[in-house]
Amino acid sequence: MAMWFARSRNLVSILRQNLGLSATLIKRNHSSPRPVFTNYQLSSRVFLDPSTSFRHESTAVETQPDLVQQSDHEDDAQELDFPGGKVGYTSEMKFIPESSSRRIPCYRVLNEHGKIISDSDFIPVSEKLAVRMYEQMATLQVMDHIFYEAQRQGRISFYLTSVGEEAINIASAAALSPEDVVLPQYREPGVLLWRGFTLEEFANQCFGNKADYGKGRQMPIHYGSNQHNYFTVSSPIATQLPQAAGVGYALKMEKKNACAVTFIGDGGTSEGDFHAGLNFAAVMEAPVVFICRNNGWAISTHISEQFRSDGIVVKGQAYGIRSIRVDGNDALAVYSAVRSAREMAVTEQRPVLIEAMTYRVGHHSTSDDSTKYREADEIQYWKMSRNPVNRFKKWVEDNGWWSEEDESKLRSSTRKQLLQAIQAAEKWEKQPLTELFNDVYDVKTKNLEEQEVGLKALVEKQPQDYPTGFHI
Amino acid sequence: MWGILRRSAVDGGGFSASSLRRTRFSLVSARSYAAGSKEMTVRDALNSAIDEEMSADPKVFVMGEEVGQYQGAYKITKGLLEKYGPERVYDTPITEAGFTGIGVGAAYAGLKPVVEFMTFNFSMQAIDHIINSAAKSNYMSAGQINVPIVFRGPNGAAAGVGAQHSQCYAAWYASVPGLKVLAPYSAEDARGLLKAAIRDPDPVVFLENELLYGESFPISEEALDSSFCLPIGKAKIEREGKDVTITTFSKMVGFALKAAEKLAEEGISAEVINLRSIRPLDRATINASVRKTSRLVTVEEGFPQHGVCAEICASVVEESFSYLDAPVERIAGADVPMPYAANLERLALPQVEDIVRAAKRACYRSK
């Protein structure tokens, strides 16, 4: 039997005396963090009523702590409405801690020895797909090595490797459909490789020659290809994040069965555009998959100097975005996570955040020497013991799908193909002068036409001032 | 078929204390053709332009703070939410960087966003997306990624809004290859140029003026037609003259026309050129005019150093040096962040008297 009690403590004690109630007394307990009624063996729900009338009500215990007022204040009987919805009250002043006692765990499928961990959830990968994934990861490794050396030899001006992040590159690409629009940061050439960009095409972009789809307009590694739904790499960090939300919005408006996929590093999440991009994608309910490659370093800035949160995955919920942390060096885990995220993004029309944990084995770029700010031992450890390519290789080999012979054949043929591509790209002529003035606008404006005419005339008049082989 | 009629004594009566009064010669008394001549405020001109372009092309959509439910911070997008729905008239969270980035991404993917900045002063929070993404993408991608986006909003000084709400960004944006920069003056300019901007496949920065929104201008039937469009890169000679050329854009066109009236009383015939397009700049029209008059006064509201006037001056010196009979006169805003107090604000902006004095100096009529 429940009693209606008056609010004030005084009244309660009066009633207590008057009604002789013992166990069923609501006591205001400052020290208890939990809803008061659970401290008592209540068999009924009790309401505090400002009036002094009593009503008997008999109900079973309900787990609605937010409806049971714990303070004596009259206001607590009001609707707990604020703009943004209903929220429960608490009389206990408690700050949410700055960090959780346990970090968000990392999803992985393969252990370090390339064995599937028992009871793993994952999407099975066929032999054909697995072999292709491995081949591409190895190709990416060879490509990075050779182009890096070419830069060191002075043949290209700049290069940026993805060493250590091959699993993220290839496995994420394998999990997407070709219609998904990719907005890369800059350490994802593997996605383009997967989609069919050839080694020759990579070389042409790096050399900025006549065959370069970018027409020599961009520095090396700023690949882009409409045909492969891979937007041209743009140097300012994180600008691709709100742009991806915009692409997602366009896909949503046109009801396409595709999503936008965009990549960012751990450092890039400090940019204002990260906040704008994620917040917006959530509000617009845009189908975007945000993949953060948390590789520990932003040039020389270690993540401990980049943020104080538990990485990036915890930020997803702050924007109302579903998120997951995955072992970025585990190709099967990355594949499963990206594939699932993609499905969610498209079918539920919502953004998803994936934090892929990994390590940047290489220097930031050819303009960097990372041994200046980190231990060579640390780099070696990740390069040898935590290598994603070796790990996946073990699994593929254990399944009998790959042999050492295949390995050496692949590596030597890829190496040969790359060296040939570089030699050819180097020799290929550069863009003609007319390309200087094209594409500034859709149609050249008059002043550009005049400038082009003027420059052509000048080159013809003073050929000795221009390099040999320079053509109009 | 209507000819373009001139009405006498049109009083715009807008926000500024010195409201525009335009007196034009009427060829035929307005009364006998009263049913024909129409007037339109710049606000309505912009609204109708956006409405018609949205109606004609489903890829066009509007985005910005308060553009939907609130009907637009300056009511330029009034009625569009009701007509086209929230997907095409999108109220954004407060993040210029965010919604500009989104607009650019949407443009990359084939839509045609019209992004509103509450004022171009706030566009600075998004300027990376405008310059490094929108302006340069077509070039850097060798034509693979084009960005058919329009950035529009009030630019330059209003009345008593202080330094962070009063800067003119014409010179900043017009220095960037890859952007087109337009600055309308009249209702016809507003309609024709905004329609051209929305249809243009390149990114366009469309600089409006808050104080002009409420001004009414006569508008021709031709301009009211939904297919009406003005060419980008062509200036308009608002008033022909033979003694001195005055070039300017946006609100200053009104001031220049008033100055021309005052100069006419003193026997100086001024030619007033409304630039309409800051990039591409119509150097041909400007130079042709200077070659006719031999004197140039160039006027803008923005800061003097590296301004639009500096570019015009350089162009004229390069191309028409031997035709100049006097040094080029530049009238610009004071080289200070805009003060708030009304008297100081007035001193910080060009006034009709400044233009008159400059023209007289160019004509050797005064020191």
Candidate list A222, A228, A363, A364, residue with the active-site label: A364
Of B113, B141, B202, the CB nearest to A214: B141
Coil, strand or helix at B56? helix
Cα–Cα distance for residue pair B257/B246, rounded to 1 Å: 9
Helix spans in chain B (H): 42-56, 80-84, 96-108, 127-128, 136-140, 170-174, 187-199, 221-224, 251-265, 283-293, 308-320, 342-348, 352-362
For residue A284, the chain B residues in CB contact (below 8 A) are 90, 102
8 Å CB contact between B268 and B365: yes
Q: Calculate mean pLDDT across residues B115-129.
A: 95
Task: Return the closest-CA partner of residue B75 out of B125, B106, B116.
Answer: B116
At B335, is the secondary structure helix, strand, or coil?
coil
Maximal C-alpha separation, chain B: 60
Whether the Cβ atoms of residue A210 and residue B87 lie closer than 8 Å to each other: no
DSSP string, B260-275: HHHHHHTT--EEEEE-
Pairing of strands B150-154, B204-208: parallel
The contacts of residue B314 (CB under 8 Å, 6+ apart) are none
Report residue B325 CA to chain centroid gap.
29
CA distance B198 to chain A (A): 14
Which residue bears the tokens 């403590």? A9
> How far does the CA of residue B211 sit from the closest CA of chain A (Å)?
31
Cβ proximity of A184 and A165 under 8 Å: no
Tokens representing residue A249 in the block: 């919005």
Integer angstrom CA distances of residue B239 from A329, B189, B261, B312, B346: 71, 15, 10, 19, 26
Q: Which of A17-26, A195-204, B279-288, B356-365 has the lowest mean pLDDT?
A: A17-26
Is the Cβ pair B106, A225 closer than 8 Å? no
Q: Is the pLDDT of residue B233 over 60?
A: yes
Question: Tell me: the pLDDT tens digits for A39-79?
Answer: 334 344 433 444 444 444 444 443 444 444 444 555 555 56
Cα A80–Cα A82–Cα A87 angle in degrees, nearest 5: 50
Catalytic entry in A177, A235, A412, A413: A235
Query: Which pLDDT value is given to residue A470?
Result: 66
B 54-83 residues with CB below 8 A of A?
61
Burial class (CB in 10 A: 0-12, 13-18, 19+), A428: middle
Interface membership of B103 toward A (CB under 8 Å): yes
Interface contact flag, B280 A440, Cβ < 8 Å: no
What's the pLDDT score for residue A4?
A: 45
**For residues B23 and B258, what is the distance between their CA atoms, to the nearest angstrom?**
9
Residues 259-288 of A with CB under 8 A from B: 260, 272-273, 275-277, 279-280, 283-284
Cβ within 8 Å of B, A 179-198:
181, 183
Contact residues, A window 234-253, toward B, CB-based 8 Å cutoff: 234-236, 239-251, 253
* Ramachandran class of A400: left when φ > 0, alpha when ψ lies in -120 to 50, beta otherwise: left
What residues pair up with B279 in beta bridges, in sequence order? B181
Other CB atoms within 10 A of residue A76 CB? 16
Q: Tell me the mean pLDDT in the region B296-323.
A: 97
Burial class of residue A33, CB neighbours in 10 A (0-12, 13-18, 19+): exposed
The bridge status of strand B89-91 relative to strand B244-248 is unpaired
Residue in A197, A255, A440 to test binding to B, most B beta-carbons within 10 Å: A440
Please say if the pLDDT value at position B22 is more than 70: no
Residue A225 is given by DSSP the state B
pLDDT exceeds cutoff 80 at B23: no
Q: Rounded to an integer, what distance in angstroms lies between the CA atom of residue A30 and that of residue A53?
A: 27
pLDDT in tens, B325-342: 999 999 999 999 999 999
Q: Is the dihedral of CA A285, A289, A290, A296 positive or negative?
A: positive
Task: Give the pLDDT confidence score for residue A22 in this predicted structure.
Answer: 44
**Cα distances (Å, whole numbers) of residue B128 to B107, B198, B200:** 16, 21, 21
- Answer yes or no: A22 catalytic: no
Which whole-number Å values give the CA distances from A465 to A439, A452, A469, B349, in the listed order? 26, 17, 12, 48
Interface contact A250-B281, CB threshold 8 A = no
Q: Which residues contact B171 (CB under 8 A, 6 or more apart)?
A: B300, B302, B303, B306, B307, B308, B310, B311
Q: Which of residues 66-125 of A touch B (CB under 8 A)?
A: none
- Side chain identity at residue A129, one-letter code: L
* ipTM, 2 dp: 0.79
| pTM of the complete model | 0.82
Partner A contacted by B283 (CB < 8 A): yes
Active-site residue flag, A365: yes
C-alpha B61/C-alpha A54 separation (Å) is: 61
Q: Burial-class residue B195 by CB neighbours within 10 Å (0-12, 13-18, 19+).
A: buried
Answer whether B139 sits within 8 Å of A217, measured CB to CB: yes
- From the list B65, B116, B129, B165, the catalytic residue is B165
What pLDDT does A434 receive?
Answer: 84
Residues in contact with B276: Cβ distance below 8 Å, sequence separation at least 6, in sequence order: B182, B183, B184, B185, B189, B193, B230, B234, B235, B236, B249, B282
Those residues whose C-beta lies under 8 Å from the C-beta of residue A191, and which sit 6 or more positions away, are A169, A172, A173, A176, A182, A184, A230, A263
Asked whether residue B61 carries a pLDDT value surpassing 70, the answer given is yes
B268 vs A430: which has the higher pLDDT: B268
**CB-closest option in B107, B140, B283 to A232:** B140
Q: Show the low-confidence residues of chain A (pLDDT under 70).
A: 1-79, 469-472
- What's the residue count for chain A? 472
Flag whether residue B319 sits within 8 Å of chain A, measured between CB atoms.
no
- pLDDT for the residue A359: 97
Check residue A36 and give its pLDDT.
36
Residue to mutate among B140, B146, B204, B234, with most A CBs inside 10 A, is: B140
| CB contact set of B204 (below 8 Å; sequence gap of 6+) | B149, B150, B151, B179, B180, B181, B182, B197, B232
Return the H-helix or E-strand segment holding A168. Answer: helix A166-175
Residue A18 pLDDT: 52
**Catalytic annotation present for A79:** no
Across the interface, do A232 and B128 touch by the CB < 8 Å criterion?
no
Please name which of A177, A275, A192 lies closest in space to residue A233, comparing C-alpha atoms: A192
Choose, from B53, B96, B210, B300, the residue flagged as catalytic.
B96
Distance in Å, alpha carbon of B20 to nearest chain A alpha carbon: 34
**pLDDT at A433 (0 to 100):** 85
Rounded to the nearest angstrom, the minimum Cα separation between A150 and chain B is 23
Burial profile B40-78: b = 16 or more Cβ within 10 angstroms, e = fewer: bbbbbbbbbbbbbbbeeeebbbbbbbbbbeebbbbbbbb
Structure tokens at B349: 């902006």
pLDDT value of residue A73: 54
For residue A90, give how far its alpha carbon lies from the nearest alpha carbon of chain B (Å).
Answer: 30
Q: Using CB atoms, which residue from A222, A224, A248 is nearest to B144?
A: A224
Q: Evaluate whether A196 touches A228 at the Cβ level (below 8 Å).
A: yes
Q: How many other β-carbons are positioned within 10 Å of the β-carbon of residue B318?
A: 10
Amino acid making up residue B317 = V
Q: Do B144 and A218 touch (CB under 8 A)?
A: no
Show residues of chain A in contact with B287, CB under 8 Å: none
The phi and psi torsions of B332 (rounded to 5 degrees) equal -140, 180
Q: What is the overall mean pLDDT for chain B?
A: 90
